[in-house]
């Protein structure tokens, strides 16, 4: 690549965040707005914005929408698998599924889901929620997972509603 490309690109380090937020304000003047930064406990905007920034066209949000809907699908499958594994008392599989959903939710910045999934991951490893102490009682671990799985389900749907609302308002 020739040097000029470099020159053209370098001098304009436009601050991304403000751009995005500015846009959101513009597009949601009518009260039906979703300001994602009002829900920091659900979604880490610094993470999620990075995905929004990757949209080729901020008007349609093809990429981020696609990512998010892909995530929904993936998360729901994983939750379903978790439920199955819970019935089968398959702790290793539950840990693995917890890890999996933890990763993708973290990538979107869905912090609540991420944290609960990490707990499941730890419980599945026969540890306590923080992963620091052993939990010798498998029944206890399964119980822990059962209740945490309920949390995850709730938190996931909470996040899903939020994101759906966001993209809805975004799209209009």
Partner 1 sequence: MNDNAGQGANNSSDFVRKLYKMLESPQDESVVRWGNEGDSFVVLENEKFTKHILPKHFKHSNFASFVRQLNKYDFHKVRHNNEDGGASPYGPGAWEFRHPDFKINNKDALDNIRRKAPAPRKPNQVVEELIPTQQIDMVNTQLVATQQQLQSLQERYNELSMHHSMLLQEVIGVQKTVVNHEHVIQYVMNFLNTVDAQRRRESRVVNPFAPPTSSGPNGVATTAADTAPPAEEDAPASPLQAASKLLSEVNADHILNVRNLEQMNEQQMRFNATLTTPPPDASARAHNRTVSRNAQPHSAGSSTVSYSELDNMVYPVGHTQGIDPMYSEHINNIPYPLPTKTTDGTTAAANDGRKKGAPVDPGWVRQPQVLLVEDDPTCRRIGGKFLYAFNCAVDSALDGLEAVNKMNAGSKYDLVLMDIIMPNLDGVSATHLIRQFDNTPIVAMTSNIRSDDISMYFQHGMNDVLPKPFTKEGLITMLDKHLSHLKKHTAGLSPMDPPAVPLPPVTKRSMKSEDSPATSPTTNSNWHSPSTFSGISPAGNQADDSVYYGQQGGYAAQAIQHTPPLYHSPSGAPLGTPQRQQQGARRGIADVSGGPGEMGDAKRQQMYAPPHMQPMGRPR
d(Cα 95, Cα 118) in Å, to the nearest integer?
8
Q: Write down the least CB distance from residue 11 to partner 1, Å.
A: 5
Q: Which residues contact 161 (CB under 8 A, 6 or more apart)?
A: none
d(Cα 99, Cα 112) in Å, to the nearest integer?
14
Q: Write down the least CB distance from residue 146 to partner 1, Å.
A: 23
CB 101 within 8 A of CB 121: no
> Bridge-partner residues for 110, per DSSP?
43
Q: Write down the least CB distance from residue 41 to partner 1, Å.
A: 16
d(Cα 30, Cα 32) in Å, to the nearest integer?
6
- Per-residue DSSP letter, 127: B
Between residue 91 and residue 120, which ones bind partner 1 under the rule CB under 8 A? 96, 99-100, 102-104, 106-109
Q: Which of 22, 35, 37, 54 binds partner 1 (CB under 8 A)?
A: 54
Contact pattern from residue 140 through residue 169 relative to partner 1, giving x for each residue in contact according to CB under 8 A and a dash for the rest: ------------------------------
Interface contacts to partner 1, rule CB under 8 A: 1, 3, 5-7, 9-16, 19, 46-47, 50-51, 53-58, 63, 66-67, 70-71, 74, 96, 99-100, 102-104, 106-109
């Amino acid at each position: 690549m020739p040097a000029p490309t470099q020159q053209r690109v370098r001098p304009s380090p436009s601050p991304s965040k403000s751009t995005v937020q500015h846009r959101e304000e513009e597009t949601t003047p009518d009260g039906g707005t979703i300001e994602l930064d009002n829900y920091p406990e659900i979604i880490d905007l610094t993470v999620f914005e990075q995905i929004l920034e990757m949209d080729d066209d901020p008007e349609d949000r093809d990429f981020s929408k696609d990512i998010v809907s892909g995530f929904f699908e993936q998360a729901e499958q994983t939750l379903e698998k978790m439920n199955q594994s819970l019935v089968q008392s398959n702790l290793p599989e539950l840990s693995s599924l917890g890890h999996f959903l933890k990763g993708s939710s973290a990538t979107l910045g869905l912090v609540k889901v991420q944290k609960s999934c990490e707990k499941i991951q730890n419980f599945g490893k026969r540890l306590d929620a923080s992963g620091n102490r052993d939990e010798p009682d498998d029944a206890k671990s399964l119980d822990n997972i059962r209740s945490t799985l309920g949390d995850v389900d709730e938190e996931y749907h909470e996040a899903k509603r939020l994101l759906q609302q966001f993209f809805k308002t975004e799209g209009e």
